[in-house]
Amino acid sequence: MKSNPERIQNLSIEGKGGVFKFSYLQRLAAGTAIRRFLTTSKTPCGHPKNIIWKRQPEYKDVHTVLDWLTKNKNHIAIGCIATVLLLLQCLVAVGQQSTDKPNILFAIADDASYPHMGAYGADWVDTPAFDRVAEQGILFTRAYVPNPKCAPSRSIILTGRNSWQLEEAANHWPDFPQKFKVYTEVLAEHGYFVGSTGKGWAPGIANNEEGAPRHLAGRPFNEHQLETPPAGGISGNDYAANFEAFLKEKSAGEPFVFWYGGYEPHRGYEWQSGLNKGGKSLDQIDEMPGFFPDNDTIRTDLLDYAFEIEHFDEHLGQMLDLLAERGELGNTLVVVTADNGMPFPRIKGQSYEYSAHMPLALMWPERIVNAGRKVDDFVSFADFAPTFIELAGLDWEETGMHATVGRSLTDILYSDREGVVNPDRDHVLVGKERHDVGRPYDWGYPVRGIIKGDMLYLKNFKPDRWPVGNPETGYLNTDGSPTKTAVLDRRTAPGQYHYWAWNFGKRPGEELYHIAEDPDCLHNLAEDPAYTEEKKQLKEELYAKLKEQEDPRVLGRGYVFDAYRYMNQANYNFYHRYMEGDLEKSDAGWVNGSDFETEPLPVQQQ
């Protein structure tokens, strides 16, 4: 597969000021400026819009705008040629810079929620590298992962498709279908040097037809290890040194794509590492999630989590410095995010605000204008792959990848606007199927939802099932932790049962939250008459989009997701094997033995 030469050819626009030539990437930026200019009621030189835009006012595609301008230059009022060129003037200077395909550094933390980066105002988490990316680029305030769990989240990133469109890869610990090509494979075919360090696509199995690992995130570079990790539970991987080894191996001038997958802040943590090694104090946390009791144990756990985020951030900073030293930072798109929410009860693996709302900052020094802006458009993780494909100069149709539901972020990258850049980006979809085991027959907990404006609507398709796994098998969909233990203890504590119910209890078939007023998602408005019409509209839009995407769950074939095998052989069919005595509590190594209830609980205690 080769790039379409007509798509990436240089563009020249001739006017009184001379001939201006623009490469493919510059066409993207120019088109954004021109498109905005042409959609105003009058031009700056006083002519009605339709003098410039004589035909096809519905054209919105960046390339189409510029192609139209060149093909129809005789239709452009002479008095406005200078205005059009004026809009492009800033790009003439850019024309002196590199027009090569951009490098891409994709940095993804393992289990970190949206608020917990310094740029978002979290004073108890020190993230100078993330903040640097935000200050020199764009900080996104509404980025969401459609399926907030490690493997499904990464599958979405790599394919540009929602998890319910990925067959087995909708689940955690799947056998990734060979039919789904990923963006790293495409870019490797088109001249990019591709690599990764740390956690790539995981956990699960992703082999090619010969049975060899596909390395979906790129060829691993993991040789360099730290002499002494800063705390127990932190990976020994020297991420920055491995990135340097990757850069040394690539050819001069060869564009690269690198996946930095930190293992932090995934559990487990060294207890009190945030206090003893991070120099933190319990009173630094100014606001606790409302679904947790406020005590020293949980505050300490949160500080340990923060300490691990800072380790991820430290290596990111070293990578940025390395690129700057090599003179390669300017033409590198840096993307920093996390795969899903923090590894705490009611967050990781759920579909609430803390679960799916992700930190996201992008930096591209040579291209992004008005750096330091905040963007409020809704962004989905399905948008990453089409962004990278477009920036590489490729049409999606020539990649061999399955159709994407994502939308390239270039309209935002090349804009200078803050706040809402593209009003069409007004919602995201979320959902899940099976994450961890722990229910009979390895059943999942199917959910679909939509976030639009300030509202979150969720449809729980199987409310009779335990949302985080059965109590008698340890609530296996929630990692063991001091916080989990503290909340489980509230089940029998006088006046504190509600904490257990919020985190581990069964849920109704529908949930509706005003996330601007209730980010903890504690006040379900689904049965509130004042929200009947809004709930109806959200549900209708959700179902319409899921049907467009051919989601088996809404087409009457949701059983396929439960039928896909959990590929961790040690723990598949855990519920029955444990209940029959074939497995021990210790075989579920991600939870504590004390998490297991001694016997099945009633359907719901009140």
Q: Quick one: CATH architecture of 103-422?
A: 3-Layer(aba) Sandwich (3.40)
Cα 395 to Cα 430: distance, rounded to the nearest angstrom:
27
Distance of CA 462 to the CA centre of its chain: 26
For residue 198, give Cα distances in angstroms to 75, 222, 348, 537: 55, 7, 20, 42
Cα 601 to Cα 606: distance, rounded to the nearest angstrom:
12
Mean pLDDT of 405-428: 98
Mean pLDDT of 292-308: 99
Mean pLDDT of 493-513: 97
432-479+505-595 has the same fold as 103-422: no
Residue 71 confidence (pLDDT): 54
Q: Is 334 helix (H, G, I), strand (E, B) or coil?
A: strand
Tell me phi and psi for residue 213, to 5 degrees: -60, 135
Residue 261 confidence (pLDDT): 99
- Give Dmax over CA atoms of the chain in angstroms: 85
Q: What is the pLDDT of residues 124-178, one digit of tens each?
A: 999 999 999 999 999 999 999 999 999 999 999 999 999 999 999 999 999 999 9
Mean pLDDT of 113-134: 98
The amino acid occupying position 465 is R
Which residue shows structure tokens 């989990």? 484
Cα 436 to Cα 445: distance, rounded to the nearest angstrom:
10
Q: What is the DSSP string of 208-246?
A: -TTS-B--TT-EE----B-SS-SSTTS--B-HHHHHHHH
Terminal C-alpha separation, the chain: 61
Domain extents in the chain: 5-94, 103-422, 432-479+505-595
Handedness of CA 155, 159, 164, 169 (dihedral sign): negative
Mean pLDDT of 27-46: 46
Q: Out of 5-14, 18-27, 386-395, 442-451, which region has the weakest mean confidence (pLDDT)? A: 5-14
Q: What is the pLDDT of residues 353-375, one digit of tens each?
A: 999 999 999 999 999 999 999 99
Tell me phi and psi for residue 256, to 5 degrees: -130, 155
Residue among 507, 419, 493, 400 at smallest CA distance from 462 = 507
Mean pLDDT score across all residues of the chain: 89
Tell me phi and psi for residue 434, to 5 degrees: -85, 130
Q: Which residue has the higher pLDDT, 605 or 108?
A: 108
**pLDDT at residue 77 greater than cutoff 50:** no
Q: What is the DSSP string of 362-409?
A: EE-TTT--STTEEE-S-EEGGGHHHHHHHHTT--GGGTTPPPP----T
Predicted confidence band of residue 572 (pLDDT cuts 50, 70, 90):
very high
Predicted confidence band of residue 599 (pLDDT cuts 50, 70, 90):
confident
Q: What is the pLDDT of residues 433-460, one digit of tens each?
A: 999 999 999 999 999 999 999 999 999 9
**pLDDT at residue 386 greater than cutoff 90:** yes
C-beta separation of 4 from 398 below 8 A = yes
C-beta separation of 514 from 507 below 8 A = no
Q: Give the number of C-alpha atoms closer than 13 A to the C-alpha of residue 569, restricted to the C-beta side.
A: 1
Predicted confidence band of residue 31 (pLDDT cuts 50, 70, 90):
low
Handedness of CA 349, 351, 353, 357 (dihedral sign): positive
Q: Out of 54-58, 149-153, 210-214, which region has the weakest mean confidence (pLDDT)? A: 54-58
Q: Out of 31-35, 123-127, 137-141, 592-596, which region has the weakest mean confidence (pLDDT)? A: 31-35
**Which residues sit opposite 450 in a β-bridge?**
429, 457
Cα 404 to Cα 165: distance, rounded to the nearest angstrom:
10
C-beta separation of 144 from 379 below 8 A = yes
Mean pLDDT of 89-110: 69
With a CB cutoff of 8 Å and minimum separation 6, the contacts of 582 are none
**pLDDT at residue 39 greater than cutoff 60:** no
Q: Is 88 helix (H, G, I), strand (E, B) or coil?
A: helix
Cα 455 to Cα 539: distance, rounded to the nearest angstrom:
12
Cα 145 to Cα 63: distance, rounded to the nearest angstrom:
29
Predicted confidence band of residue 70 (pLDDT cuts 50, 70, 90):
low
Residue 78 confidence (pLDDT): 42
Residue among 564, 163, 201, 511 at smallest CA distance from 346 = 511
265 token code pair? 């802040």
pTM of the model: 0.86
Residue 59 confidence (pLDDT): 35
Residue 27 confidence (pLDDT): 52
C-beta separation of 292 from 487 below 8 A = yes
**In the CATH scheme, what is the code of domain 432-479+505-595?**
3.30.1120.10
